[in-house]
């Protein structure tokens, strides 16, 4: 199987940490045992993909037989004690109107 993902890593020979979560998904949900992963890297605004790497992975040894959520990066226990992704609303921090208005000086 051939798959690809947007790789945030800046290391020349190593893919970024999100690949681990993606590989667990491939193994657990689609029962993938071997894959060629295209770690797509693009220099922002340049259209240069020369840093993209290809990694062959063998997931046949991964034991994901239990129904329990496997440990993965980016998940933490919620208020109910269950593993879940943490969500944060960044919209207020990215509001251009909020930052375009100069503060009013106080007399």
Q: Convert the pLDDT of each residue in 22-35 to its tens digit.
A: 998 898 889 899 99
What's the mean pLDDT in 65-92? 71
The pLDDT assigned to 99 comes to 66
Q: Taking 80 as the threshold, does the pLDDT of residue 59 lie above it? A: yes
Does residue 73 sit within a domain?
no
Global confidence as pTM: 0.59
The pLDDT assigned to 52 comes to 93
Does residue 48 sit within a domain?
yes
Does residue 68 sit within a domain?
no
Q: Structural domain tally of the chain?
A: 1
Give the pLDDT band (50/70/90) at residue 6: very high
Does residue 76 sit within a domain?
no
**Is 51 in contact with 12 (CB distance < 8 Å)?**
yes
Residue 40 domain boundaries? 1-62
Does residue 23 sit within a domain?
yes
The pLDDT assigned to 89 comes to 73
Greatest alpha-carbon pair distance for the chain in Å reads 70
Does residue 94 sit within a domain?
no
CATH at 18? 3.40.140.100
The pLDDT assigned to 71 comes to 60
Report in angstroms the alpha-carbon separations of 68 from 60, 79, 83.
Answer: 19, 18, 10
Does residue 80 sit within a domain?
no
DSSP 8-state secondary structure symbol assigned to residue 55: E
């Amino acid at each position: 199987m051939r798959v690809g993902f947007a790789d945030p890593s800046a290391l020349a020979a190593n893919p970024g940490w999100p690949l681990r979560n993606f590989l667990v998904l491939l193994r657990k949900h689609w029962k993938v045992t071997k894959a060629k992963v295209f770690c797509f890297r693009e220099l922002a605004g340049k259209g240069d993909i020369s840093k993209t790497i290809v990694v062959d992975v063998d997931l046949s040894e991964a034991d994901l037989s239990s129904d329990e959520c496997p440990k993965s990066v980016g998940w933490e226990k919620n208020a109910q004690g269950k593993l879940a992704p943490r969500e944060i609303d960044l919209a207020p921090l990215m509001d251009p109107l909020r930052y375009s208005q100069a503060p009013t000086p106080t007399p």
